[in-house]
Amino acid sequence: MDLYQLFKTRTPIIGVVHLLPLPTSPRWGGSLKAVIDRAEQEATALASGGVDGIVVENFFDAPFTKNQVDPAIVSAMTVVVQQIQNLVTLPIGLNVLRNDAKSAMAIASCVGAEFIRVNVLTGVMSTDQGLIEGEAHQLLRYRRELGRDVKILADVLVKHARPLGVENLTNAVADTIERGLADAVILSGWATGSPPSLEDLELASTAAKGTPVFIGSGASWENIATLMQAADGVIVSSSLKRHGQRELPIDPNRVSQFVEAARQNWNSKGEGKSMSSVKLHS
């Protein structure tokens, strides 16, 4: 996976838009317009703050189904992504929680999104939704059938989960790439907002043998310089919210602060963006 070709930088920062509860989810508020308005606000804040990509996920639909989501979720996410694409020019990704990679691939293929995040691509994980089995064979065949080269960013030993049986991180990374055919791998801490250790990132990077390794949780302006010593990119959400509280909207000032802290270590590579990623309407 060529990070520069996709994100126009070799060290991408991907911000997350956490969608408000969607139709059929337990906390659905009844207004899709409210969901869209919040998503547009957050996407614009991320783009203006300097991130290199955005991933859209149904974060507030908890408790999640472990596999296929309701068709209304797919429909709503499709509409939201299209609205975001009208506002920003950044690469867009999908994460359909908890592990509906097929729906994510379908949405991405139809709207022209560039990548998806898959929590469990290979192996079996014990989660609060029950046992989740990776279905890489189905997903990769589906991608080929759809005829779109949507990149697959796959978590390894994903947060809020434990592997069924003893799992070695090095082997898990290698299997996800070599047997699951992931285009990039993601390493997280135990839970949302918890970072992976530098040691684990170094192990993952060695095992990945050149395949990009992303930090998947817990990155903040205080620790990003350290963590990026052993990673190729970062997916960030909680630390960009107002007061660092994930229930609140994204704070544009915190986005800028995070991006500045990250870029201070990358300026020597000459990878700053020269054009705005927010569409200007006359």
What's the CA gap between 89 and 68, in Å, rounded? 29
Smallest Cα–Cα separation from 207: which of 170, 261, 175, 156?
170
* Mean pLDDT score, 219-229: 93
Predicted confidence (pLDDT) per residue in 15-63, tens digit = 999 999 999 999 999 999 999 999 999 999 999 999 999 999 999 999 9
Quick check: is 97 in a domain?
Answer: yes
Quick check: is 64 in a domain?
Answer: yes
Of residues 133 and 269, more confidently modeled: 133
Count of structural domains, the chain: 1
Quick check: is 280 in a domain?
Answer: no
Lateral strand order in the sheet of 130-133: 130-133, 124-127, 161-163
Quick check: is 28 in a domain?
Answer: yes
Smallest Cα–Cα separation from 95: which of 121, 117, 76, 72?
117
Q: What is the pLDDT of residue 127?
A: 87
Q: Which three-class secondary structure string do you get for 120-167? A: CCCCEEEECCEEEECCHHHHHHHHHHHCCCCEEEEECCCCCEEECCCC
DSSP class of 255: H
Predicted confidence (pLDDT) per residue in 241-274, tens digit = 999 898 999 999 999 999 999 988 665 444 444 3
- How big, in percent rounded to 5, are the helix, strand and coil portions of the chain? 40, 20, 45
- What is this structure's pTM? 0.91
Quick check: is 60 in a domain?
Answer: yes
What's the CA gap between 128 and 63, in Å, rounded? 9
The secondary structure of 57-107 as a DSSP string is: E-GGGPSPPSSPPPHHHHHHHHHHHHHHHTTB-S-EEEE-TTT-HHHHHHH
Q: Is residue 109 within 8 Å of residue 102, measured between CB atoms? A: no
Q: What is the pLDDT of residue 263?
A: 87
Q: Count other Cβ atoms within 10 Å, centred on residue 44.
A: 18
Quick check: is 228 in a domain?
Answer: yes
Smallest Cα–Cα separation from 219: which of 210, 230, 208, 209?
230
- Domain assignment of residue 153, given as a range: 3-263
Cα distances (Å, whole numbers) of residue 85 to 1, 44, 113: 23, 10, 9
Task: Give the pairing of strands 151-155 and 115-118.
Answer: parallel
161: domain CATH number is: 3.20.20.70
Least confident of 124-128, 142-146, 205-209: 124-128
Quick check: is 279 in a domain?
Answer: no
Q: What is the pLDDT of residue 276?
A: 46
Quick check: is 268 in a domain?
Answer: no
Q: What is the pLDDT of residue 250?
A: 96
